[in-house]
Chain A
Amino acid sequence: MFAIAMAVSLVFLSVSILVGLYRIIIGPSMPDRVIALDAIGINLIAMVAVLSVTFRTSAYLEIILLMGIIAFIGTVAFSKYIERGIIIESRRGD
């Protein structure tokens, strides 16, 4: 019963990632693709959480936090590139 619930949630998360992938491929503008990538990252975090429950281990819990940090920094970098055309400014105010 428990394994079935985990498998069902993994299938739903996979479907959600596929929908995000569709938005990345079709997405008419660049911000659409960035947001879809962010959503896929969040879904991957959820999949890691479900897998760590399935395998009955706490060894993956660091990976959850790590993927959250990496997804945040990547999204910030992408959005700054889209808005400014430059990711790291050398001087403030230009």
Chain B
Amino acid sequence: KVDVSAKWKLTSGKQKKASVQWYVRVSEIPTGKISLLGREPHPQEVFYYESRSCVDEVDAESIISTVQVKLRGRDLYCRMRLQFSFHLTELSFGTFIDFLYIQILLILTESSLLSTTPNTPRTPRHITPSIPSRSLPARQPANVLEEARTRLHVSAVPDSLPCREQEFQDVYSFVESKIMDGTGGCMYISGVPGTGKTATVHEVMRCLQHASDMDEIPPFHFIEINGMKMTDPHQAYVQILQKMTGQKATADHAAALLEKRFSSPAPRKETTVLLVDELDLLWTRKQNVMYNLFDWPTRRHARLVVLTIANTMDLPERIMINRVASRLGLTRMSFQPYSFKQLQQIIMSRLNKVKAFEEDALQLVSRKVAALSGDARRCLDICRRATEICEHSAPNPSSTGLVGMSHVMEALNEMFSSAYVTAIKCASVQEQLFLRAVIAEFRRLGLEESTFQQVFVQHQALCRVEGLQPITVSEGLAVCQRLGACRLLLLEPSRLGVQQRVRLNVSQDDILYALKAD
């Protein structure tokens, strides 16, 4: 029934690692845990089994990793893996084995007891927030286009990021050297949106975590904060403290605790890697948050590596006072916008031999996006939209061809064409006339601003020229304010009445083009 095999591995230093595997029938999983899953376990399903209480005494870093369900013979089995790391000084070898056995037996007896006599569930102590699980499993992609669409989704970050090898290498070697030396440092990463900054850093962290699991580098702790997710820059302290120790404190108290933690020496302190995304939002008038973030790595005992990400290249020079900028240091890296070849390569690697696009179509998308911004997210969105257009335009849903140039062109038009021109084209006759009156009045005055009164005189003249019934002032104001609400015009508050000043929010050429096109 239970097959326990322990594998031992001696690592460098004083730490030991043990990984234990055993098999349990699906029926023996406590019903409470199955109900947490919310559905019948699928043979390929992978889920987490958490039992924190039994390993608190052993200095365990990863308690129980994934639980896999396997078919063995006629019965379904659960394969569980337990991973410990412990210090030889604390436990002798023999006692550890005994201890482990006791723990496992405890787990199993508990689970068998639970499976036989389900008692009332206790109030969970350390509850983790969760969202309700879906009743049906997510739909599998049915055809090639759907397959392509899931692969092209922005959230589907691939394992390796193409075209960012150099940047990956730089960040990796920076962080790795700091971890190896046990020192700290700062790095500033900049680049326009959608150039793979955050994805690259995450990739680096994943690789480093793997390396530390393989005992190639010392273990470290990774924390991530995002300036956009905070209501106040001082919340950064609270979040860092909570992610490091699980403690909750007010901002001031958290800052004091962190200060103490980073400035005092402690044995067995791990290196902490802190990723600060959207750095520009942590700006305060006194800049004390930024100052602290960059000052802590310079402490002798801190062992803190800070990676900061923002969009503008000259942010340190622009908004930081000198003592903050100098602490940030000169380790900078800027992510260039993708060229069209790189964008093409990214899409190709995402699609991974799924044949859904024509070569030319891909090239068109990547060239257009590269010419405008070099934003990979934008590129992926356009491709996804093009697959949707292709699917809709196909005569019958079962036989859809490849995404061609026409579909891509349509998607590009949707995404890049100015909404203003469409809005002007679709406006009513009087609204179009009013825009023409605005231009006429601007030409007469030689200015880019006039009052509603002046424009209205022009409007009435235009009405007579066009053979329309001239509208009243009230209707004219309604027309004007409707255009203002669409942001085609920029207006002053309406309580000024006919004295309110009118400016255009679009270029005159756009209006003339839109009005002339038909």
Q: Is chain B found bound to chain A in the same assembly?
A: no
